[in-house]
Structure formats: C-alpha cells, structure tokens
Amino acid sequence: MRTDYYLLSSGSINRDENTLYFENETDRRAIPVEKIKCIYAYGQLNFSSQAALYLCKEGIPVHFFGYYGNYVGTLYPKESLISGEVIIHQVRHYIESDKRLLLAQKFVIGAAKNILRNLEYYSKEHPSLSKSIDEINAQLDNLQDKKTVAESMNIEGKIREIYYHALDEFLPEGYKIEKRTRRPPENRMNAMISFGNSLIYASTITEIYNTQLNPTISYLHEPFARRFSLALDISEIFKPIIVDRIIFKLVNKKMLDDTHFDGRLGDMLLSEKGKRLFIKEYNDKLETTINHKGLEKNVSYKRLIRLELYKLIKHVLGEQTYSPLVLWW
C-alpha cells in the first residue's frame, strides 16, 4: 500500500537511473517511489527535469506549501483515468443551475452536520454549546430557502463563524481562536487550522487524481483558474472529521508546548517540531479504520475521501443521489 511522503526542509530532488534522491547540505536520502502515493513539500524544493518526468510517469503528485503552511500548488501528473462520459456529466451539473445548487447545498449540509457532531460531543461537558448548536440548525433551516450558490455559500460562512466562536467556550487559554485569520495566522489555533486545512485539501486533490473526476469543476466553490476547486468542495466535509479532531486531541491531551510554535501573537506558525507532530497525527488519523455501515467492512479515513468521490461520480451519472458523509461513529 502506497503512503504519503513529507519533505519539511529545503533541498532538491534528483534522479540517478531509476532512483530519486532528496538532497541538501546535510542530507541525501533515497525516495522510495514505489511506496509513495504523493509528496508534500514544505520549504523550497528544486527538481531536475528527469526527476519531474519520473514522478509524473509514476503518477505521483507533489503538493507545495508556502511559508505560512498554505497550499500553493501541485505538480499534477497527466491523468490516466480519463472518462469523457464523467466529464460531460460533471460539467452538466455545473452548467444547469438547479443541479449545481443541489450539490452545493449538499456540501454545506455535510460540513454543517459534522460540525454539529463535534459540538454535540463537547456539549455533554459544556451545556452552553447548546445555543450554538441551535444557531447552526437554524442556519441549516434557512439553507433550504436559498436559491443561489452564493446565498448557500454565505450560509456556510455563517455556520463556520458560529462554530469557531463556540469552540472558544471550551478550548483552554492559549488556544482560543478569537477570530479566523490566515496569512499570517495570528495565534496557535489559527496556525493549526490553516496547516491542517491545507493538508486535507492536498489529500483530497490526490484522491481526485485517482478517480475519473476533473478537479477544476466544482459546485459550492467557484471554479476559478489555477485551483482545484472540487477539492475545496469535498474537503469541507472532512475538515471537522479529520482536521478539527486532530487539533482537539493535541490540545486536550496537552501534547503541545512553546517548542511546537514559531513567532508571536499576530504572526504565528507551527515550528518544524510542531509540523512533524501534526503530520504524524494526521497520518495516523488517515490510516485509522472504522466499520463502514454501508459496505459492512472496515475502511480508513483516507478511503472515506475516495468513497465520497465515487458517490459524486454516481450522482452526476444519474445512478444514485449524492448524500454527504456524516459522522455516525
């Protein structure tokens, strides 16, 4: 089974016959291409043309991240699972406004219900969260009256705002969100949220690459140039399930200290030690299995992303109405 590969330091990737090497001033190590599904590159990374060709030939995407841990781009190999039929129907569901609106609202509903699962879990010890739960449910009720994608996107934004405000009711001092900030993240929670969201976005791109879907045709987010907007749609569902729960674990189990962060309030990042810890927890989460009530077998969290994409394919082909994944475990 292929796994994800992370490069946290700057360097170069070069090819020597049929072996790739990562090299910098202090390190030279072989990259086990036959065991790699994708590469996550932090810091500056240089390629030889032969190395890039070899990665593309092997179908290994390389995701690049900026100084703040934000996603900046992907070396995206030529797609090998192209289906004209799927692309035609995927485009049709974007062009026809009623079909697009249906899917856009499904993504909002899926994300919101998984957010509610998180809040409901913590409301057992923090009853004050019931107010935020009611507010989010009210927003979901309003969603059914919205007639445009833009209005639906606005509902999604309001739900996120309520959610992040609610988290501050039970997160300890030093780990309050206060307000959502990105570049730069202004505090520890924002740094972890941004880092985790970039990871799940890149993971979703990799899973899309291994399906017949086109990553640039989306429904909730506008399909602008130079971004894989379908990954934005799908990752909304998995942020509460994967990213947020990793953060809750790190904070609640007191696995973090000052050495896991760089900077100061107003400009905060995960340190290399912090990135390594978060990535370890992220990989552990992706490989964790749950019993899938529909398939009646154990599947990993990573596989759940692929299954979500398969459901979308069945929807656009008219085989089965799409229903977003909502936590049941």
Return the DSSP state at 320: S
pLDDT at 299: 92
**Pairing, β 45-47 against β 11-16:** parallel
For 75-86, the pLDDT digits (tens) are 888 877 778 899
Over range 290-310, report the average pLDDT.
Answer: 91
15, pLDDT greater than 80 = yes
Over range 202-217, report the average pLDDT.
Answer: 94
* pTM higher than 0.75: yes
70, pLDDT greater than 90 = no
Phi, psi of 4 (to 5 degrees): -80, 150
For 215-246, the pLDDT digits (tens) are 999 999 988 766 799 999 999 999 999 999 99
pLDDT at 66: 87
Q: How far apart are CA 317 and CA 86, in angstroms?
A: 7
Among candidates 81, 307, 90, which has minimal Cα distance to 211? 81
Question: Domain coordinates of the chain in residue numbers?
Answer: 3-60, 84-316
Q: How far is CA 71 from the centre of its chain?
A: 10
Helix axes 149-167, 97-122, angle to 10 degrees: 10
Query: Binning pLDDT at 50, 70 and 90, where does residue 27 land?
Result: confident
Phi, psi of 6 (to 5 degrees): -115, 135
Under 8 Å between Cβ of 104 and 94: no
pLDDT at 80: 75
pLDDT at 26: 86
For 147-200, the pLDDT digits (tens) are 999 999 999 999 999 999 999 999 999 999 988 888 788 899 999 999 999 999
For 98-114, the pLDDT digits (tens) are 999 999 999 999 999 99
Q: How far apart are CA 279 and CA 277, in angstroms?
A: 5
For 260-274, the pLDDT digits (tens) are 999 877 788 999 999
Could you tell me which CATH number the domain at 3-60 has? Answer: 3.100.10.20
pLDDT at 293: 80
Query: Binning pLDDT at 50, 70 and 90, where does residue 255 land?
Result: very high
254, pLDDT greater than 90 = yes
Q: What percent of the chain has pLDDT over 90?
A: 73
Q: What is the mean pLDDT of the chain?
A: 92
Same CATH topology for 3-60 and 84-316: the answer is no
pLDDT at 294: 78
1, pLDDT greater than 80 = no
Write the CA distances from 237 to 233, 252, 301, integer angstroms: 8, 23, 12
Q: How far apart are CA 163 and CA 17, in angstroms?
A: 52
Query: Binning pLDDT at 50, 70 and 90, where does residue 143 land?
Result: very high
Q: Which comes out higher in pLDDT, residue 115 or 77?
A: 115
pLDDT at 226: 65
Query: Binning pLDDT at 50, 70 and 90, where does residue 3 land?
Result: confident
Omega prior to 172 cis, within 30 of 0: no
**Pairing, β 28-31 against β 36-42:** unpaired
Q: How far apart are CA 314 and CA 321, in angstroms?
A: 7
State which fold the 84-316 domain adopts. Answer: Four Helix Bundle (Hemerythrin (Met), subunit A) (1.20.120)
